[in-house]
Amino acid sequence: MPRPIRVAAAGDVHCDEENREELELAFRRVDGDVDAILLAGDLTTYGELEQGELLAEICRGVEAPTYAVLGNHDWHCNQVAEIVAALAGADVRMVDRGWARQEVDGASLGIAGAKGFVGGFPDSQLADFGEPLLRKVYAETTAEVEALAAGLAAIAACDFRIALLHYSPTATTLEGEPRGIWPFLGADRLASPILEHHPDVVLHGHAHVGAFEGAVGDVPVYNVAVPVLGRDFFVFELDGAEVRHTA
């Protein structure tokens, strides 16, 4: 069996000048101690290019391979292409509607990513019916589901497999949030490719006062939004059988 892989994950870092020093310290704390760093969306506060460039500056020189998906905040100013380019220049690999494979001491780590989108959960779901604008929302979620499925299929042969999202694929990590906003925090349609391909773990953010731990079937799901974590990163190990939390 390959050795366990050690990962640091966080969502909703909301980078801007106000938390620059805090983020720099957070990355320094985990760099050199983990095999990969995963960022679960809302990389910026308002989706401004300057905020993306600041995060790129913080990530530049980080030794651990860093992977990320976008969040809703990152789209706010419609500067996504510029933000992605800035992060790519700092060796942050975007797996938004994509996937990546990394070799770690002879073992393979696969990461399938998607932002995800809204849609809701049983008893409160958006249907593919009615006004064209609402059907476009439904279609956008469909595209995210299909991208996640394709990414998980592409990494199926990897020793360790992680699904990285921003929106939640399960209501089990939304407990604590007002139920009226659950349809805007994720969609259980995202659970279908997870159930089919059964990754080792799913990570997401977005739900700032949700629950830390949940599940899709028997696949563990962790809400790694920084406000939920109460710390900089969730650091864990995968050994092929379980997710081991570390201090």
The string of DSSP codes covering 108-168 is EEEEEE------EETTEE--S-SSHHHHHHHHHHHHHHHHHHHHHHHTTTSSEEEEE-SSB
The answer on pLDDT for 80 being more than 80 is: yes
Q: In degrees to the nearest 10, what's the CA dihedral of 92, 93, 94, 98?
A: -170
116, 167 contact by CB (below 8 A): yes
The residues near 170 (Cβ < 8 Å, ≥ 6 apart) are 121, 186, 188, 191, 214, 215, 216, 221
The answer on pLDDT for 2 being more than 80 is: no
pLDDT at 247: 65
- Reported confidence tier of residue 1, pLDDT bands at 50, 70, 90: low
The answer on pLDDT for 241 being more than 90 is: no
pLDDT at 137: 97
Phi, psi of 184 (to 5 degrees): -95, 0
- Rounded to whole angstroms, the Cα distance separating 234 from 220 reads 14
- Rounded to whole angstroms, the Cα distance separating 101 from 85 reads 20
CA-to-CA separations, 64 to 5, 90, 168, 171, 193, in angstroms, rounded: 12, 12, 26, 31, 28
Residue in 225, 159, 166, 170 with CA at minimum distance from that of residue 195: 170
Tally of CB atoms within 10 A around 244 = 12
User: What token pair was written down for 36?
Assistant: 């990969």
User: What token pair was written down for 42?
Assistant: 């809302």
- Reported confidence tier of residue 163, pLDDT bands at 50, 70, 90: very high
pLDDT at 246: 83
The answer on pLDDT for 116 being more than 90 is: yes
What's the whole-number mean pLDDT along residues 228-245?
A: 92
What's the whole-number mean pLDDT along residues 139-149?
A: 98
What's the whole-number mean pLDDT along residues 127-142?
A: 97
CA-to-CA separations, 227 to 31, 117, 163, in angstroms, rounded: 21, 20, 21
The single residue listed with the structure tokens 């992605």 is: 84
More confident residue, 98 or 244: 98
Mean pLDDT of the chain: 96
Planar angle of CA 84, 93, 89, nearest 5 degrees: 55
User: What token pair was written down for 90?
Assistant: 């700092």
More confident residue, 43 or 32: 43
Cα radius of gyration (the chain): 17
pLDDT at 24: 96
pLDDT at 242: 83
pTM equals 0.97
- Reported confidence tier of residue 61, pLDDT bands at 50, 70, 90: confident
Model pLDDT for residues 177-204, shown as the tens digit of each residue? 999 999 999 999 999 999 999 999 999 9
